[in-house]
Every structure is written in structure tokens, then in C-alpha cells.
Chains A and B, each alone.
Chain A
Amino acid sequence: MLQTLAQHDRDELIAPLYRFDRKFWGIVAFLAAITAPGLLLYGRQLIVGLGVTDLNRPVFWGAYLVNFIFLIGISMAGTVISATLILLKVEWRRPITRIAESLTVFGLMTAGLQIIMDMGRPDRLLFTLIYGRLQAPLMWDIASLTIYLLTAMFALYLQLLPDIAILRDTAPAAVPEWRRKLYKFLSFNWRGNKEQWERLEKAIVTVSVFLIPIGISLHTVTSWLFSTTVQPGWKSTILGPYFVVGAIYSGLGLLIIAMSFARVYNPHLKEYITEKIYTNLGWIFIVMSGVWFYFTLNETLVVTAEQETLEFPIMASKLFGQFSPAFWGMNALMIAATWMLLAPKFVSDKPSRNPLMKTPVGLSAAVIGLAIFSLLWLQPVSVFADPVFQTVFILAFVALLFLALLGVTKWLKTHLIPSSVIASSFVLFGMWLERWNILMPTLTHARLIPYTTYDPTLTEIAVTVSTLGILTLIFVLFYKFFPSISIWEVEEGRARELGAGD
């Protein structure tokens, strides 16, 4: 029986690798199309200079740096899921370790790109390796990022090795010669005898042990870029752990989106990436969102309560000023995401008699409310200027959000995977805003330069889109060459489950 199941795995996981159908080319073409404008505009930036961005004095860092921290954050997925779950010998991790590991590698690659795009003189990149000074926080980040990237690539390779050997041995006749050579080169002389397996497993465990502290070091070092400066708003000791928590949080979000994407692309994967995995990841997600909210409260509360003259204007710009849409938008997104994951656990499958719990009723109530809300917003004489009205409208907005969330709860309960994906995208967008809220308020509120604003230009927006395009493109292309599910791990898990041993 194991034999037939193994054959089944190979059919469904390996056969699509050689199928270059219209769906694949369509996705590649779409991704190339959204990537191209950003690359062209970046080319212009290379020629003209960083003036094509909206960066200025004192906002010397902008969207590129926000993207950098965000991408570093989402790259945490591999460390947390793969390494931690491997070390804890959690069985349900088997189908998702590959995707998690690879997201780390791709996230770090694109994060590195952001730094190069942000540099005024990318042609002098190698100067950091010739004249590098250890006192500069940027040097720590370069060291940490490089080592994390190399270790993550090594971990990914170790995971891939037995699967590449399977690919090498099972390649159909129609496979082009260069692809065969690639598999042959990458699998070297892996034969899968007992001792090789023992050594490989030892190596995987050891790399996993190292991967966790190296990953945490990268996230904290990235926060030190900011907290080692004397700028108010960044001089915070919690920034390091806050970045780590945010990284795990957004990393999980990207992992859920990526595995759902793989599932939609190749429907056979539904047998492997089951709803149980979504439920289990959902619990980790809920815990992380709790920790994240607590840290956000900590950061906000401490600065607000101490009322320090330099720090407080920056916090005030987040709470009530220029950055309040981003700050409260982030909080609303995170609350909605947490609700989407948590609320379905408390309701039953059966339709409710409460009209507010009926999806159409709840949603339409919220939509009508929002329509009235926006109509009032568009009035020529703003009613929002009145403080009492402001309070009424804030409360009404919160009530509408709650109404909408209540309305969709039953739908969420019955649609686990779409709800996880929506919650994950909310978290990803919210985490991008969080990084924006860390960087921008401090940069726009310099001490001896008048307060200023920063609105990303077309170049910065296009480059951001193109970065996400590149990330997805690498993901899609990589999984055209290698199976997106670790075949050997799944087979091992199945064998363990059936108690067959070997």
C-alpha cells in the first residue's frame, strides 16, 4: 500500500513540474508585466539619481527601507515553521516545510535588493566589503543578512537533496538535457543509503538549531539600525523583540498565502496541505497576534504616559496627526484579522437565529452604515470638525466594523481556507503599515528641521509592486523546478503513521 501511495505522490507532485501549460505562462507573463514598470523606473533612478523619489531632508529613508524591514520580516516564516517544528518533531509540518524554507530565502533575496535600490551609489556596494567598519550598525546587518541567507539556502538545499535525487532518477525521456544535468549536479552522488540518511538528518537538525538564533539576530539587528541612533521615537529597547514578534506574525501570514496559492495552482496539493494545517497554523497566528497587540500597547503606552518632550510629538502624530490613518488602519486590520481567526472557534456550524449573525444581514447593515458614513464625509461643510460628532463617528465606525465582523462569522466558520487567506493578507498589509509607522513619524519629525511630510512617488510605488512581483516570480519559477512539497518527508510521515517503519 505504501508503494502505491508513493507512486501516487510522484505522479501528482513531480508530473506538474514538466507541464509548461498556458496557466503557467499566463502567471509568468502577468508577474513579468507588473515587475517591468518598476524595473524601468529603477533604471531611470540609476541614471538620474535618487531625486526621482520623494525622499528629502530630513526624510532620508522611505518606502525602500520600509519594504526592506517588511521583507526581512516575512522571511521569518522559514525559521519559525520549519526549524522550530522540525526540532519539536511536529508531524503536521511535513507538507509545509519546503514552502516555509523557500520563503525565507526569497524574502531575504528581495530584502537585499531593497538595500541596493536605496543606495545612492549602488556601484560602490563592494566598498562595504573592502572598507567595512564593525562599529557601524549597517555592517552588522550586512553580516547577519548574508549569514542568514546562506544558512537558509543551505537548509533548503539539505531538505531538497533527496527530492532532487528522486527527480534525477525519475525524469521522463522528454525532459531537456540541461534540466537533467541540473538535477544530476545538484544531487551530486546522493544514493539514499542508510548512512547518508542518518548523516543528512543530523545535519538538518543541526542547521535548524542554528537557524533560529541567526534569524532572531537578523530581526533584532535590523531594529538596532534604528534604535542605536539618537533620534526620538527610535530610542527604544523594545524595538528588537517587537520586530521579532512582527516578523513571526507576518511570516506566518505570507506562509498561509503562499501555500494557498500553491494549492489553487495545483489542486492535487489539497490532499497534502489539509485543513488541519490551516487550523494548527491559525492557533499560532492567534497567539502571535496577542503578543503583537501587547507589544504595540507597550510601545504606545510608555511613550504616551511619560510625555517626554521629544518623543511625544512623534507619538501624537501617530495617534491623532499625520500618521493616524496608517496607525489606526493598522490596528483595525489586525483586529479584523484576529477576529477572523478567533471568532469561528466560538460559533457552531448550524445557521444562527440571530439576524446579525446572518451573513447578508450583517454585511448589508455594515455596508449601508459605511455608505452613510462616507456620504457625510463627502459633505462640503465637514460635520467631523465638531468634537462631539467626531466621538459619535468614531464610535459608529467601531460599531460598524464589529457589525460587519459579526455578520461574516458564520461564513468564516464554513470557509476556513479563504478566511485564513483574507486574515493573512490583512496581517501582511497591517505589518507593512506598522513598519511605515515605525520609520516615518521619526524621520518626518526631525529636531532642528521643520516638520515635513513624505508621499512616495510613482517610482517608489512601482518599485514596491515590482519587488512583490519578483518575490512571486522567483517562487513560481522555483517550484517549476522543484516539488513544492517535500516528498520524502511526507512519505516518511506516512510510513511512521502506518507503523511500517521502513
Chain B
Amino acid sequence: MNFPLEQPLFQFFYWLVNTPGAGAGIVALLIGGALLTFFLTLRWIFSAKSDEQEAHPYPPGQ
């Protein structure tokens, strides 16, 4: 059996977990992704068409 770190894939993983800044980048990506998702969700909710004039205080039934 070869030592896994001889494979470039594992070398990349090793670099990824071991490099200062790389981890921060991934965490920043995760956080940024979450924030972007939240922003897009809000935009999606607010952009709902408002043809009807009526407003409901709670979800209207089906």
C-alpha cells in the first residue's frame, strides 16, 4: 500500500487543512455563502407580486 500523502489529491487536502489562511478562506466562503443565501431568500420573499390589494395578518388558507 502506498502512503496516501504520495497522491497529489491527498497532498492538496493536506495543504488545504494545514495552510494558515486557506482554512479562513473556506470558513469565509461558508459564512459568505450563508449570508448570500439569506439575502437572496429575503429578496425572493419581498419580490413577490403584489397584484392583490388585500393584506393578510397571517398565512391565508389554501
Contacts and interface: CB of A to CB of B under 8 A. Distances in A.
Interface string B19-36: 111111111101100110
Nearest to A131: B20
Interface in A163-200: 166, 188-200
A488 B24 contact: no
A300 interface: no
Contacts of A131: 20-21, 24
Given A192-B55, A193-B54, A129 B27 contact: yes
A491 B60 CA distance: 11
Interface residues of A, number: 46
Interface string B35-49: 100100110111011
Most buried by B among A131, A134, A190, A192: A134
Nearest to B50: A193
Contacts of B3: none
Contacts, number: 120
A460 interface: no
A197 B31 contact: no
A143 B59 CA distance: 35
A502 interface: yes
A188 B50 CA distance: 14
A90 interface: no
A150 B27 contact: no
A193 B20 CA distance: 49
A492 interface: yes
A139 B31 CA distance: 13
Contacts of A488: 57-59
B55 A193 contact: yes
A108 to B, nearest CB: 14
B43 to A, nearest CB: 10
Q: Name the prevailing secondary structure of the A interface residues.
A: helix
A154 interface: yes
A134 B26 contact: yes
Given A189-B46, A191-B50, A193-B52, A201 B59 contact: yes
A489 interface: yes
Nearest to A488: B58
A387 interface: no
B19 to A, nearest CB: 7
Nearest to A214: B34
Contacts of A356: none
Interface in A244-288: none
B41 A492 contact: no
A135 B46 CA distance: 40
Contacts of A151: 34
A430 B38 CA distance: 37
A495 B52 contact: no
B23 A192 contact: no
A457 interface: no
B56 A190 contact: no
Given A147-B31, A150-B35, A203-B45, A135 B23 contact: yes
A14 to B, nearest CB: 12
B30 A134 contact: no
B22 to A, nearest CB: 7
Contacts of B28: 129
B18 A135 contact: yes
Contacts of A414: none
A168 to B, nearest CB: 12
A149 B17 CA distance: 24
11 contacts: A130-B20, A131-B20, A133-B24, A134-B17, A134-B27, A143-B31, A147-B30, A192-B56, A203-B44, A501-B61, A502-B60
Given A132-B27, A139-B24, A194-B52, 13 more contacts: A131-B21, A133-B23, A134-B18, A143-B30, A150-B35, A195-B48, A195-B49, A197-B58, A197-B60, A206-B41, A492-B59, A501-B61, A502-B56
The 3 lowest CB-CB distance pairs between A and B, nearest first, are: A132-B24, A134-B23, A131-B20
